[in-house]
Chains A and B, each alone.
Chain A
Amino acid sequence: MKGLILKKDNLVPLLRKIRKGGKLVAPVQNRHGDTLFEVIDDLDRQQLDLEHQAQSSLKPFFFPQNDPLATYNCAEDYSFEPVVSAEPTVYFGLRSCDLTAVLYMDVIFSQNGADTLYFARRKEAILISLGCNQPFAHCFCNNTGSGPFLEYGFDLQFTDLGDSFYVEADRARGEELLERWSYFFTPADEDDRKKQYQAVLEARSNFRRTVHVDPAVKRLAADPDLQPVWRELSDRCQDCGGCAYICPTCTCFTIVDQPLAETHGIRLRQWDSCTFSGFTRMAGGHNPVNHAEQAIRRRFLHKLKIDVEKHGRPSCVGCGRCVDICFGGVDMIRFIAMVNDLKLPAEEK
């Protein structure tokens, strides 16, 4: 489809309309200066922030940290009642990496049968991404094939052209939205298209870092046993799980019962992290994974090796969030650098 133009002055009025028709989620800067995706209740009060990278991703909206799977009753009988909650929601202002992460979660949650809870929410979602003219400090999505702009996968993609947005649709739901609110948009002309193309080109040269993802992936495919790397990073890992929680593609979870009374409770799905020492611990305390040396092995191999084997691409989307969150430097960028710096056994002599 042809591109459209949305004048920036029209953005908030458009979002107001969208919000009237359902839930709207967008990056908002709170009074502490943190930018987080939030449900928009009041566009006058909540400060839309399209300047900074949101510290959170969309993960919690589709896969909440505490997600009730069912309620259970065990008074006289024992029984479970499913819980499903989802409402039509437009997500505005997510970046290409976050959108790629949602597409990855789509794959994960459709293994062995579509996950009812996840897809209930996903089916109600319209994703409007905003390409990154100016990538943020730790971004490396150009090296993970997930940005700064996308060719497909979005319902709508916005490109900042200064005083307007260039808007393109990839999916039917995006096109429907454009039709519904067509009076906000004007057709893009040749000049707009050139500007958009220019913005995409410039964005690619605006990255402040080059992270050599492909060489690391190749290296791991050939030899995933990098004991010195695992040991050093495991040593610095403080078992906080921050990287897994903040990561838009970390989807490991646990299932727990939360009793509300003697007679009933909730069964919850909760975020978990493979870096936690309890992640693999079995009855009697036996742990098949030597935590001190291997705690973070799983995390990095999963993203850069196992998912490449399984799904054809690494599941790190280059958002750089784990760089900000880990004071121990146990992050993806550091890991990739360490892998690439390691001497191959043949080189050591």
Chain B
Amino acid sequence: MTMYLPQMAKIVKIIRENPQIKTFVLEFRDKEYNKSFSYEPGQFMMVSVPHCGEAPISFSSSSTRPGTIELSVRLAGKLTGAMHRLQPGAMVGLRGPYGIPFNMKELADQNLLFVAGGIGLAPLRGVINYCLDKGGYGRITLLYGSRSPDDIAFKTDIDLWRKNGVDCRLSVDTATEGWDGQVGVVTTLLSGLEIERPRSSLVCGPPIMIRFLLPELSRMGFRDREIITTMERHMKCGIGVCGHCHLDNRLVCVDGPVFDLAQLKELAVEELGELT
């Protein structure tokens, strides 16, 4: 059981990122545990909310800023809905960290292209902050697609990143009045973009976005190993036992969620279609 026993954590702050997304700043109740807790970019936690079971949520914070962790949650259903109704001071259960993180050592010195759609920016936010805090990474470019200007999340972060030299380019599927930026799916932001080697792209978003993006990146000359993405699957245990997160012969919770295109090409991934 111990492996399924959550650690209790208190919500110390809630940041509303957009109408659907809230960032929960959390602190483990056990002070020692809180102090020694550590994780890596791209990993996730299984989150418990009273009567709602558990759901996997990625870290949107970076371990370079210890003391609290942050989970950004999109309102999607029962558990995420209940979590959105919680107030600061309330407790949630957390177990983890789980999953294979982004290989930050291998990415060192590279120019990094981040591409995010919607809630997909949550995990990448952790990675970007990790890179900025640690230093030792090349130029950072972020392409971020949202449905509408109102849906753009993490605005404070984006402002800060810009100040720190991150090239942030935003697009919206549908513009509203006052939007003078790019309109269209996030792939439209790729045109004219030049990222010099050594380079990698880190992609996070809905399956449909990933499906269209991967071939685009290949066309731009990114090698398979330079295209890194995260796969999402229904998860129950997070530790490779329950079987729910199967992706061909892998289990996303322990063999992922981070995969590069070279790995994905070896697998039959239905939602990505034929990967060539």
Contact = CB atoms under 8 A, between A and B. Distances in A.
Interface of A: 69-70, 72, 74, 77-80, 82-84, 108-109, 111-113, 115-117, 224-225, 251-257, 259, 265, 267, 269, 272, 274, 279-284, 286, 288-290, 294, 298, 301-302, 305-306, 309-310
A288 B207 contact: yes
Given A267-B53, A280-B233, A280-B234, A272 B243 contact: yes
A282 B91 contact: no
B51 A83 contact: no
Nearest to A83: B1
Nearest to B7: A80
B262 interface: no
Contacts of B269: 288
A279 B234 CA distance: 8
Contacts, number: 120
Contacts of B2: 82, 116
B126 interface: no
Contact of B233 (A113, A255, A282, A298): A282
B242 A255 contact: yes
Contacts of A269: 4
B44 to A, nearest CB: 14
Given A78-B92, A254-B244, A274-B246, A283 B80 contact: yes
A301 to B, nearest CB: 8
Given A111-B239, A282-B234, A288-B270, A255 B53 contact: yes
Ranked nearest first, the 4 interchain pairs of A and B with the lowest CB-CB distance are A252-B243, A283-B76, A74-B50, A78-B91
Contact of A288 (B4, B8, B50, B271): B271
B244 A78 contact: no
A61 to B, nearest CB: 17
Given A257-B51, A257-B52, A279-B234, A112 B239 contact: yes
A298 B246 contact: yes
Contact of A82 (B5, B8, B244, B271): B5
B242 A253 contact: yes
Contact of B3 (A79, A115, A251, A257): A115
B93 to A, nearest CB: 6
Contacts of B12: none
A279 B249 CA distance: 16
A77 B91 contact: yes
A112 B249 contact: no
B242 A284 contact: no
A71 to B, nearest CB: 11
B167 interface: no
Contacts of B77: 283-284
Contacts of A225: 268
B226 interface: no
Contact of B5 (A70, A74, A257, A272): A70
Contact of B8 (A79, A83, A115, A305): A79
25 contacts: A69-B1, A69-B4, A72-B93, A74-B50, A78-B91, A78-B92, A80-B8, A80-B48, A109-B241, A115-B241, A116-B1, A252-B244, A254-B236, A256-B53, A257-B52, A259-B51, A279-B234, A281-B234, A288-B207, A288-B269, A298-B246, A302-B243, A305-B249, A306-B249, A309-B249
